[in-house]
Structure 1
Amino acid sequence: MYKLLKKRLSWPTVIGSVAFLMVQVICDMYLPSLTSDMINNGVAKGDTGYIWLVGWKMLGVAAIGMIGSIGNVYLAAHVSQKAGSTLRKDIFRKVLGFGNQEIDGFSTSSLITRTTNDVLQIQNVVLMMLRMMLMSPLMVIGASIMAYQSEKRLTMVFLVSVPLLVVAMGIVMYFAVPLFKSLQGKIDQINLTFREGLTGVRVIRAFRQDAFEQTRFDQANRDYTDTGIRVFSIASMMFPILTVILNGTNMMIIWFGAKLIANQTMEVGNLVSFMTYASMILFSFMMLSMVFVFIPRAQAAAGRLNEVLDTKDTVLDPSEPQKFAQAPVELEYDGVEFYYGKAEKPALTGVDFKAHAGQTVAVIGGTGSGKSTLINLIPRLYDTSHGQVKINGLDVRKASQKDVHDHVSFVQQKAVLFKGTIRSNMLFGNPNASDEEIWHALEIAQAKDFVAELPKQLDAVVEQGGNNFSGGQKQRLAIARALMKKAAIYVFDDSFSALDFKTDAKLRQALKQDPEIQKSIVVIVAQRVSTVLAADLILVLDEGQVVGQGTHQELVQNNETYQEIVNSQIRKGDM
């Protein structure tokens, strides 16, 4: 946890918080002494003037202590909230910088839990540390010294009460700490189940699995609830135990103190102040025990956060990035091979091809043949295991990621739209674009007609995930957003799958005819033969290998795999 916080805490503010805490503790230690003085020298002697004098002193000390307490709480809250804010920002930035390989290592629900609940645990412990964890040892030490000075003969009582309290704390922590640690993982499971239920609600209803999903969520919820009940029931036992020990301690103090007073070897005020110091000592142990119960949970949260922050990026910028040559764009795969993680078998092997400006490259093959993997290497979502992907003759790994992304515009299989408006989504591709440029991109993507029919047109609301649009409309808007970016290479990863054949054909024709796009390379991944018919170069993939490349006419004559795909989709005579 220290590793996580040392660079994210405002140390001057921490020092200020500790200074205010010291003021509060000193004032708290001094008040029982003033009470003793008031009783011994004022009440016992009937000196009203002295009582008023000490009373005003007590008010002044209490006021200073209150200022110290307020200052400590304010600065401690500021430190903890600032640390939490910095942590969330760092985790979000780290995740945004992940390549696909790092993202595959974490589930979405786990990352959400880590960024919210785990960070909250760290915030709470930082606040506790600057309040209770520092206050408790200071009060134990201070109260012990003051109690000894008040009446050293009564301190023998602590030889019984303190060991009892320590043993009770140890037993509670022994059973509670493992349960606190397990709570974080159970929160992950609740988030995962709840998120799957929300995103897959239509599938659940279609298959009438409502009861099954409710049972699955109930099980995860019950598991978390039962664990929470057990751990907090165990932790709450500290309060009655403390009450018993505190009352027992006070009884022993009064018993022995009464004898000393009866023998006139101790004053009443000393007994009152000693009982106050005894209560402070025992309550301090109690506060310390509660902090130590929550620290393991925060430690577990810190470990999960460090796991994200310490993840080494597999896609890195070179120490001295090179620039792409300013020339007509050229894309080349040279002996490319790619493995996922520690897989024994490559997802891609021996991929070689070259494309030039103005060409359309299509990638086709069966499910799991490596189509998406192949095009993910262009914008460096993954890096090759062997071989090179080159843009304008330069290996993309030798250029900065920013430079690579500036040259590539990418549309994923699943169309992703952000909450806002159509205009705000389009400006993702080009923040400085005019309305005319937006309409032009929408026209090429065959989205102009349905956008023009919306009441607010470009200012029409886009709900989260674009859920107020159909699958085909979302795909066309995502394509238009990609076209807003003036890129050298446009990559469409099966982005026409939700379009009907007519719209698909019109869109590809518009891409071919646009003078700006004619200067670029268009890479299309598709399942349908009709989508790749007019491509200048078709790559046929089978089990990660390019088993054929050429035009449609060439492949339909001499490539068996391509012939099987064609025959499965197009009836004889329809060619």
Structure 2
Amino acid sequence: MLRLAKGRISYWAVVGAILFMVAQVISNLYLPNLTSDIVNNGVETGDVNYIWRKGGEMAIFALISVLAAVMNVLLASRASQRLGANIRKDIYRKVINYSHDEMDTVGTSSLITRTTNDVVQIQNVAIMALRMMIMAPIMLIGASFLAYQKDHTLTQIFVIVLPIMVVFIGLIMIFAVPLFRKMQQKTDNINLVFREGLTGVRVIRAFRQDDFEQKRFEGVNQDYTHNAVKVFSIMALMVPVMTLVISATNIGIVWWGGHLIAAQAMNTGNMIAFMTYAMQILMSFMMLAMIFVFVPRAQASAVRINEVLDQNSPIDSKADAKNFDGTTPELQFDHVEFRYRHAENPALTGANFDMHAGQTLAVIGGTGSGKSTLVNLIPRFYDVEQGAVRVNGIDVKDADLKELHKTVAFVPQKAVLFAGTVRENMQWGKADATDDEIWHALEIAQARDFIEEEPDGLDYMVEQGGANFSGGQRQRLAIARALVKPASIYVFDDSFSALDFKTDANLRQALKDDPDISSKVVVIVGQRVSTVADADEIVVLDEGRVVGFGNHEELKANNETYQEIVSSQIREGDEA
């Protein structure tokens, strides 16, 4: 936790919170002493002036205590919230630069929990540290010393009380702390199921799996609930037991102090002050117990957060990374082999080809053949195991990542749009893109017609995820966004799948007719032969292996896998 706090917490707020807490504790410790003086020297002697004078002092110290408490809470809250905000910011910065491999390893649901619930645990302990963790030891030591000053005989009662409290607090920690640690993992499970349910709500309804998903969510929810009920039931024992201990201690003090007063060995005011100090001592123990219970939970959260922040991705820019200034569009796969983490067999083997400016490369194969894997290596979402991928003559491992991503325009399988206007979405490709450039890209992507139909045009609002567009419209907008971007290589990862044949053909023809794009390297992943047939070169994949490379006519004549794909899509008598 200290690692997380370093450089992320407001130090001036921490120092201020500590100083105000010390002032509050000193004021609270001095008040019982004033009460003792009023009783001993004012009430017993009937000195009203003394009572008013000491009462005024009590009011001043009480006011100081209240003001110090308010300032302590204000500064502690500021420090803890600043800490939480900085941790969340650093997690987001780290995660946004994760490779696909790291994202697959940690998992989206777990990252959400770590960014929200785990950070809240750290914030809670931070404010607890600046409140209880400072107050408890100071008050414990100060109250013990002042209680001993009032009457050293009565302090013997703590020899009985404190061991009982230590044993009780120890038992609570033994049973509660492991359960608190489990709660974070169970929160991950709830987020996972809930997120899947929200994402796939249409599929769930279409297949009438509402009851199944509700039972599934109820299962993880009940698991979390049972764990929470156990841990908080254990914690609930603390208040009544501590109340019992405090009450028993007060009874013991009154009984024993009464005998001392009767024997004129102790003043009444001293006994009242001693009772207050005794309560402060026991409350300090109670606060320490709360700290010892909640700190391990926060420590578990800190470990989970540090796992995210300490994740060192091998996919990063080198100190001497190369840029692409003045390079010619070119794409080369040099005997590439790739496998996913912990996989036994390679996901891609035998990729060996060159593409030059003005050429179009198509990638085709069955489901799970490795088409997306191949194109994901171009912008270096993953690193190859053997061989090399070169963009414009530079090995992607030697290139600066930001420059590489500027050089490659990528349209993923799933068309993702963001809440905002159409213009704002298009400007993801080029921040200073003009309206003319955007309309030109929309025209190539066959999206201009339905955007022009909207009264707001480029200012038409896109809902989250592009929910107010059809699947084909989302794909065309995602393609247009990539076309706005000035790149050397344009990659379309099965991004024509939701388009009808006519729109597909018009879009591909528009790509060829555009003088700027036609001078670059275009990579198209497709399932349909009609989508890839007019490409300059076609890569045929089968179960992760490159089994063919050539143009449509060559593969149709000589490649068995390609022949099977063609025959499965084109009826006998038709021409491909």
| Letter of the 1:211 counterpart | D
8 Å CA contact retained: 2:359, 2:522? yes
In structure 2, C-alpha distance between the alignment counterparts of 1:239 and 1:297, rounded to whole Å? 20
1:231 aligns with 2:259: no
1:97 aligns with 2:97: yes
Match of residue 545 from structure 1: 545
| Letter of the 1:163 counterpart | P
Match of residue 39 from structure 2: 39
In structure 2, C-alpha distance between the alignment counterparts of 1:412 and 1:236, rounded to whole Å? 52
In structure 2, C-alpha distance between the alignment counterparts of 1:314 and 1:514, rounded to whole Å? 38
1:50 aligns with 2:64: no
In structure 2, C-alpha distance between the alignment counterparts of 1:394 and 1:424, rounded to whole Å? 32
Match of residue 129 from structure 2: 129
Match of residue 138 from structure 2: 138
SS of the residue corresponding to residue 397 of structure 2 reads: helix
8 Å CA contact retained: 2:315, 2:380? yes
In structure 1, C-alpha distance between the alignment counterparts of 2:132 and 2:307, rounded to whole Å? 28
In structure 2, C-alpha distance between the alignment counterparts of 1:41 and 1:242, rounded to whole Å? 33
Match of residue 241 from structure 1: 241
After superposition, give the CA deviation of every residue in 1:505-563 in whole Å (9 maximum; x if it has no partner): 00000000001102211000111100001000101112222211111011101111111
Report the Cα offset of residue 246 of structure 1: 0.5
Report the Cα offset of residue 166 of structure 1: 1.2
After superposition, give the CA deviation of every residue in 1:395-446 in whole Å (9 maximum; x if it has no partner): 1111110110110000000000001121111111111111111111110000
Match of residue 349 from structure 1: 349
CA RMSD of aligned residues (A): 1.1
- Larger displacement relative to structure 2 (40-49 or 337-346): 337-346
SS of the residue corresponding to residue 490 of structure 1 reads: strand
1:53-68 equivalent positions in 2, closer than 5 A: 53-68=53-68
Report the Cα offset of residue 343 of structure 1: 2.2
Match of residue 521 from structure 2: 521
Match of residue 171 from structure 2: 171
SS of the residue corresponding to residue 105 of structure 1 reads: helix
8 Å CA contact retained: 1:114, 1:304? yes
After superposition, give the CA deviation of every residue in 1:5-35 in whole Å (9 maximum; x if it has no partner): 2232222321221111111111111111111
- Larger displacement relative to structure 2 (116-125 or 388-397): 388-397
8 Å CA contact retained: 1:84, 1:120? yes
- Larger displacement relative to structure 2 (325-334 or 28-37): 325-334
| Letter of the 2:48 counterpart | T
Aligned pair count? 575
Match of residue 436 from structure 1: 436
In structure 1, C-alpha distance between the alignment counterparts of 2:557 and 2:502, rounded to whole Å? 26
1:197 aligns with 2:197: yes
After superposition, give the CA deviation of every residue in 1:24-72 in whole Å (9 maximum; x if it has no partner): 1111111111111111111111011111111111111112222221221
The list of structure 1 runs, each at least 4 consecutive aligned residues, that deviate by more than 3 angstroms after superposition, is: none
Provide the TM-score with structure 2 as the length reference.
0.98
Match of residue 372 from structure 2: 372
Provide the TM-score with structure 1 as the length reference.
0.98
After superposition, give the CA deviation of every residue in 1:152-206 in whole Å (9 maximum; x if it has no partner): 1100000111111111111122111111111111111111111111111111111
Report the Cα offset of residue 314 of structure 1: 2.1
After superposition, give the CA deviation of every residue in 1:492-515 in whole Å (9 maximum; x if it has no partner): 000000001110000000000001
In structure 1, C-alpha distance between the alignment counterparts of 2:221 and 2:397, rounded to whole Å? 46
Match of residue 252 from structure 2: 252
In structure 2, C-alpha distance between the alignment counterparts of 1:159 and 1:392, rounded to whole Å? 79
Match of residue 118 from structure 1: 118
In structure 1, C-alpha distance between the alignment counterparts of 2:327 and 2:34, rounded to whole Å? 86
In structure 1, C-alpha distance between the alignment counterparts of 2:555 and 2:490, rounded to whole Å? 24
| Letter of the 2:461 counterpart | V
| Letter of the 1:42 counterpart | G
SS of the residue corresponding to residue 522 of structure 2 reads: strand
SS of the residue corresponding to residue 397 of structure 1 reads: coil
In structure 1, C-alpha distance between the alignment counterparts of 2:395 and 2:200, rounded to whole Å? 41
Report the Cα offset of residue 392 of structure 1: 2.2
SS of the residue corresponding to residue 555 of structure 2 reads: helix
| Letter of the 2:158 counterpart | F
Match of residue 337 from structure 2: 337
1:369-408 equivalent positions in 2, closer than 5 A: 369-408=369-408
1:213-228 equivalent positions in 2, closer than 5 A: 213-228=213-228
5+ long unaligned stretches in structure 2: none
Report the Cα offset of residue 298 of structure 1: 1.0
Call closer, same or farther: CA 1:275–1:327 in 2, change over 3 Å: closer
SS of the residue corresponding to residue 258 of structure 2 reads: helix
5+ long unaligned stretches in structure 1: none
SS of the residue corresponding to residue 270 of structure 2 reads: helix
8 Å CA contact retained: 2:17, 2:76? yes
After superposition, give the CA deviation of every residue in 1:203-230 in whole Å (9 maximum; x if it has no partner): 1111111111111111111221222122
After superposition, give the CA deviation of every residue in 1:209-259 in whole Å (9 maximum; x if it has no partner): 111111111111122122212211110110000111001000110111011
8 Å CA contact retained: 2:333, 2:353? yes
1:292-371 equivalent positions in 2, closer than 5 A: 292-324=292-324, 326-371=326-371
- Larger displacement relative to structure 2 (494-503 or 544-553): 544-553
8 Å CA contact retained: 2:324, 2:407? no
SS of the residue corresponding to residue 322 of structure 1 reads: coil
In structure 2, C-alpha distance between the alignment counterparts of 1:103 and 1:219, rounded to whole Å? 26
| Letter of the 2:139 counterpart | M
| Letter of the 2:336 counterpart | V
Report the Cα offset of residue 325 of structure 1: 5.3
- Larger displacement relative to structure 2 (443-452 or 343-352): 343-352
| Letter of the 1:3 counterpart | R
After superposition, give the CA deviation of every residue in 1:253-295 in whole Å (9 maximum; x if it has no partner): 0111011100111101100000000000011111111122111
| Letter of the 2:417 counterpart | L
Call closer, same or farther: CA 1:289–1:327 in 2, change over 3 Å: closer
Match of residue 182 from structure 1: 182
| Letter of the 2:12 counterpart | P
In structure 2, C-alpha distance between the alignment counterparts of 1:175 and 1:4, rounded to whole Å? 27
| Letter of the 1:201 counterpart | V
8 Å CA contact retained: 1:102, 1:314? no
| Letter of the 2:152 counterpart | K
In structure 2, C-alpha distance between the alignment counterparts of 1:68 and 1:206, rounded to whole Å? 60
Match of residue 565 from structure 2: 565
8 Å CA contact retained: 2:379, 2:408? yes
Match of residue 273 from structure 1: 273
1:499 aligns with 2:499: yes
